[in-house]
Amino acid sequence: MSHFVRNLEVKRKSLENYSILSEDIKPMKGEFEGYFRMRAGKLRIIFFPDKEKETIFVDAIGFRDSIY
């Protein structure tokens, strides 16, 4: 398994128990208010937590320079 895939697997597990207090997770602003971004090396994971359904929807995964 490549380092890249292992890193994403660790981040996936972090998303399952995410906390907005994590240094890798930040709330987004402006038109993306309500969404969060998670840093995974050079990648960013944009997600929206639905607390009622206890589900996290991943909207996008991409490199920092092209994701925003």
The predicted structure's pLDDT at residue 12: 60
CA atoms within a 13 Å half-sphere pointing along the CA-CB vector of 65: 0
Q: How many Cβ atoms sit within 10 Å of the Cβ of residue 26?
A: 13
**Separation CA 68–CA 62 (nearest Å):** 9
pLDDT in tens, the chain (68 residues): 455 555 555 566 666 565 555 667 889 999 999 999 988 888 898 988 887 887 888 889 899 888 87
Would you kindly state where each structural domain of the chain is located, as residue ranges? 3-67
Q: What is the CATH number of domain 3-67?
A: 3.30.2310.20
The predicted structure's pLDDT at residue 3: 54
Considering the entire predicted model, what is its pTM?
0.66
- Interior angle at CA 15, CA 14 and CA 19, nearest 5: 80
